[in-house]
Structure formats: structure tokens, C-alpha cells
Amino acid sequence: MERSKLRAVAGFPEPGIQITSQFPKIFSTICLGICFIVFVFYKGGKAFFTRFYSLPPQSYVQNIKEAVNGNGLVKRSKVGIKKASYRRRLILASAKPLMYSTVPLTSKKDTDCSNKAYQDIRIARVDKEENSEFLNLIKPMEPDFPKRKILYGFFHPYSYAGGGGERVLWQAVNVALIYTFTESNDQSVSSILTSVHKTFGLDFFTEDKKGRVVFMQLPNKYRWIIDGNSFKFLTMAFQALGSCAPDIFIDTLGLPFSYPLASCFLQIPVYAYVHYPWVSNDMLNKLAIKMKKNPVYILKYAYWYLLMKLYSICGSFLTESSCNSSWTLKNLLKVWTWADEYSKPAIIYPPTGIDESKIQLNADSSRSHIFLYIAQFRPEKRHELLIKEFHKYVTRCDKLCAKPFKLVLIGSTSLINDFSFPEGMIEIKVNAAREEVDEFLNKSEFGLNAMWNEHFGISVVEYMIYGVIPIVHASGGPLADIVVPVDSDTGKLLVEKGESYSRDTIGETYMSGLFFQDPSDPDSSTRKTEFESLSDVLWRASELTDAQRLQYRKNAISVAEKKFGISVFEQEWDRVTTSLADYEMYERNKRGKVERLY
């Protein structure tokens, strides 16, 4: 019986498309064709982008010579669409690369960062008049040429901000390009670097650093792309690389969709310092719970699941990566499932920006009876929990006729009136100056951190550097990375990075702080209660003998010096930059005969 008759008997309709014996061959041919097109696009795109962003026109040397001998301006008609490659040659040859920033060097009343005049290719006076090697250094060089410089491009659009991410950025910057927005159109290089000095104490006006940082202005009209929860479009990466292509691309903000572009098409090393996962399993788990109650969340779950997979794919294009804590690493590895023992991110703890040599520290000196809490007044910092537990502590002290410690809250917020504080025993410092913060760090006995699952906890490190005994929630970075046991006599840490340990086995003598848990913790229903409540810990802390406090203080100082000193970060960062430079040389030698010279 014919096949069509069999189908009719079985009640199946005749298929609209006849599947013949030729179908597998046709399907294979189509797949091969698609693969061939993708391969050609990739190879062609790689050659195109490398040449477009790095190779200047053949007449560029002559054009620059004419500008040096003239008014310094390379005419727009001669530059055309090759601004990025021109600017790259000038920066690498310059005695003072800062002069080729597209952000104004200084601010005036009529300064406007959006003015296209700042994008023009103009020879700096210092190179025209004082740099005798300038015209030789703009020429192509072999990868192993001794005077060849390497350009590190830091992709950090909010470089002018004053948060922990910016602290890492500025501590890491050496000879660098920084792709940035400006907070307003009247900002300048000088105002940004002055703010960095004031906020982080890092001076880029010294002779060894002066002029080595170049700012590339990103159009402020694209700020919406990274503000709020907007999708991280590739637009930002094209804008950044279109202004000047670096030799090494470094992301310190968290824009993962720029990694494939820099890695595939520019053939340069790509590095990321991750402060927290862009998308995490925890986020999806929370949505999964909501999805059971409300089907509307199905679409949101699918959207974030897709982004998580894309985030993982983008992460695989990284040459090397680091993160700021064991908590971040643990959550990253749940998303970056491709990472193995050799390719997983390294943990590099962020610098505090505090110059330890300027701290007049004496572990034996007496301290004021103060519980200090330095944190922004935001819900996740759990000030309400702290106030409630502190009230219990004060009540207990009253009943036992004991003098309670004073609570000092330091932070920056306009929402202070949202919190209800009990009468007395509390001092609130809103928008305190750095000098005032240092004063409290020098005299306080204990430092608090009430946040649950904080990914790191830089304020806890500050406590320990100043000899303030930390009282922290038993979770996240404070538990796994910061408040760890140490032998203060030898300075030896008793656990490795992120390693778990038993406090009962190690003993109080080696502990560097105290921990608490609370029934309001999001994981309280699934986690075993191992620690006391905050009010009980506050009471126990205030009852410690002088000898016990001294031991805790010595341990805290020892951990801070061993793990979080500026020198520790600098050593780790030197290792990263050396590794990236070696890989840059390797990638450059794989390029074509012309591309490798530029």
C-alpha cells in the first residue's frame, strides 16, 4: 500500500511539505552555508575593526608633521572618520598623554563638554616644543620595540562618582585611558582629579602621575543606557572604542555586552573587575517564588533567565577577571558555568584608600564607649533593626544598673526622617566630613554592620584598620572574607580566602570580631541559628574585659594589614597588569603584518 494511502487510513492528513530522501542533504547544505557566512563575517569583521580603529591613513605622518610645523591642528578633512586611530598614535607618542583628552582640561563659565571642538585632533604644545622624539614615536612599531607603550582602557562611565567602584578604579589606574560621562557639561579633567584627591586621597597631580591619564568623553545623551535597569546596549562600547582603541580593555563598572566586541573584533585582552553579579541565581529564585503566585512573573523570569545566559556567554570572552569577595565569586560561578579552576575569577579585595602610615594607632590606648555605624541610610543597611536591638540593649543595661555604650550613626541621606530613633544614647551624623569620620574611627570601641549578605563591606575593613572591633552580621563578605581569625603575634591568617571554619575549634583568642544573626534575616527559615541576636552581642561586647578588647583589637588590626592594606592591592594589581601585558603581546603577534605594528 502506498504511503499516502496508509496515512489516509490512519486518519492523518497529507503533509504540506514532502520529506524526500534529499532533505538531509539540503538541510546540511543550509547549515554549512550559515556557518560559512558567520565565519566570513567574523574573519572579515575582525580585520575591518582592527584596521578601522587602529590603523591611521597612509598620509597620517605627513599630516601630523604639517600640524607640528603649523598651528597644531590636523584638519578635519584630513582626519575624516579615522579620529580614533589618529588620537591613539598621538597618545602613545606624547610626553603628556593627558593633553589629548576629549574632556576639557579645565573648567570655565562657558565650558561645554559637548562642544565638538574638544574632539578635534590637535598636537599638544609640549609635544611640538619639548618632545624631540615625538615624530618618530608616532610611527608603527614592532611588538617587542622597547619604547612601545601599552594603553590600558578603563571603561567606567561614572568615573567622577565617589563610590566603592570608583575607589577601585582610581587605585588601579596607572597609564590609562578612561571612558567616562561627565556629571555636567562644565566638568573638566582638573575638576574630576581634584574630586578624586578629596574623596579618596589619591593625588594625580604629582610628577610621576601628572599627565598620564587620558579622559575620553562619552556623549551624555547615552547615560540612560546604564542608568536604572536599562539594558546594557553595545552602543556604549562602540562609542568608547570609537574615540580611541586601547591595547587592553578593562571594565570596572559592569557592562558585559562590551566584552565580545573588544575580544573578537579588536583582538585585545579583556579584563573585568566584578563588584557583584549583573544577574544572579538568587534573583531568579525570588522570581520563581513570585511566579507560582502570579503568572505575570513568567515573562519577567524568562527575560532575566535569557539575560543570565547572555551574561554567561559574554563572560566567556574575558581574558582574565577578578571579583571583590568570596560571596561575589560564589554567585558568579553559579552563572558563569563555563569557568573552571583555571579560568574562574580571582579574588582581589578592594582598597580602602586609607593611608595606614598616617594613622596614629596605638592598640593599647583607651577608647570611648561608642558603638559606631558607618553606612548610608538605606533600607538594606537595616538601621531599624539596629535601633530596635540597641533599645533592647539599653533596657537591659538599665535593669542591671550598667552604663550603656553610646550609639553613633554616620551616613549620607535625605531620608533621615523616615527612621524613628529612641530618646537619648544616640548621636546622628549626616553627611559627615572625612575628618570627622576619622575622628570617630580613632576613638570608638566597636564598629557595627547590620546588613544581611553584603557582598563585601568596605566600612568593616575601615573599622579594623583603625583598631575598632567589628560587630557584624554573620553573612556575606564580613563573615567569609573580612572578620577572620588570625594569630596577631605572628601575623598569620588561620584561614584562606573564603574558607569556612569552626569558631569553637579556633577559639576566641584568635577572633578579630563578633557576629550576630536575627530572626528577620531572609534566610532564617533555612539556616541554622549559630549566633546570638544583636542585642545580646552588644551586651557581651560591653562586658568584655580590657584584656579581651585589646586582643580583639590587635587581631582586627593584624587582619587589616595582612589582607586589605594598599600594598596588598597594588601587588595583586601588578600581577594582573603584567599578565594582561603578556597576553597583549601574544595576541598582537598573531595579527597580520600591518595590524601588529599599530
Per-residue pLDDT, 5: 44
Among the ranges 193-202, 353-362, 397-406, which has the highest mean pLDDT value? 397-406
Instruction: Provide the percentage of residues in the chain whose pLDDT is more than 70.
Output: 79
CA atoms of 139 and 280, how far apart (whole Å): 47
Closest to 516 measured CA to CA, from 493, 539, 495 = 539
pLDDT > 80? residue 559: yes
Nearest-CA neighbor of 217 among 230, 233, 236?
Answer: 236
Nearest in space to 153 (alpha carbons), one of 218, 208, 106, 204? 218
pLDDT per position as a tens digit, 253-298: 778 888 888 888 788 999 999 988 888 887 788 788 778 778 778 8
**The length of the chain, given as a count of residues:** 598
User: Would you say residue 427 has pLDDT above 90?
Assistant: no
CB neighbour burial string for 166-203, b if at least 16 within 10 angstroms, e if fewer: bbbbbbbbebbbbbbbbbeeebbbebbbebbeebbebe
* Alpha carbon of residue 593 to chain centroid: 36
The residue among 45 and 199 whose pLDDT is bigger is 199
Joined together, the cell numbers standing for residue 38 give: 558567520
Confidence of residue 299 (pLDDT cuts 50, 70, 90): confident
pLDDT in tens, 96-140: 888 888 888 876 666 666 677 777 888 999 998 888 899 999 999
> What are the cell numbers at 364?
593599647
Q: Which stretch of 46-55, 308-317, 443-452 has the lowest confidence by average pLDDT?
A: 46-55
The structural domains of the chain, ordered by start, are 60-275 (no CATH), 357-564 (3.40.50.2000)
CA atoms within 13 A on the CB side of 36: 6
d(CA 195, CA 552): 35
Question: Is residue 46 over pLDDT 80?
Answer: no
Q: Which of these, 222, 257, 210, lies nearest to 237 by C-alpha position?
A: 257
pLDDT at position 104: 80
pLDDT value at position 168?
74
Integer angstrom CA distances of residue 327 from 307, 342, 481, 496, 517: 21, 19, 9, 14, 17
Distance between CA atoms of residues 509 and 512, nearest Å:
9
CA–CA separation, 140 vs 597, rounded Å?
A: 5
Distance between CA atoms of 439 and 470, rounded to whole angstroms?
17
Joined grid coordinates for residue 315: 563572560
511: which residues sit within 8 A by CB, 6+ positions away?
483, 485, 503, 552, 555
User: Would you say residue 236 has pLDDT above 60?
Assistant: no
The answer, yes or no, to whether residue 167 has pLDDT greater than 60, is yes
Quick count: other Cβ atoms within 10 Å of Cβ 60?
21
User: Residue 75: CB partners within 8 Å, gap ≥ 6?
Assistant: 63
Counting Cα atoms < 13 Å in the Cβ hemisphere of 261 gives 21
The rounded radius of gyration (Å) of the Cα atoms in the chain is 29
pTM comes to 0.80
Give me 435's grid cell: 575628618
Q: What are phi and psi of 249, to 5 degrees?
A: -105, 125
φ, ψ (nearest 5 deg) of residue 135:
-70, -25
Distance between CA atoms of 68 and 123, rounded to whole angstroms?
Answer: 7
Alpha helices in 55-183 (DSSP H): 60-69, 76-79, 83-93, 125-129, 134-137, 164-172
Span 499-510, pLDDT tens digits = 777 777 787 889
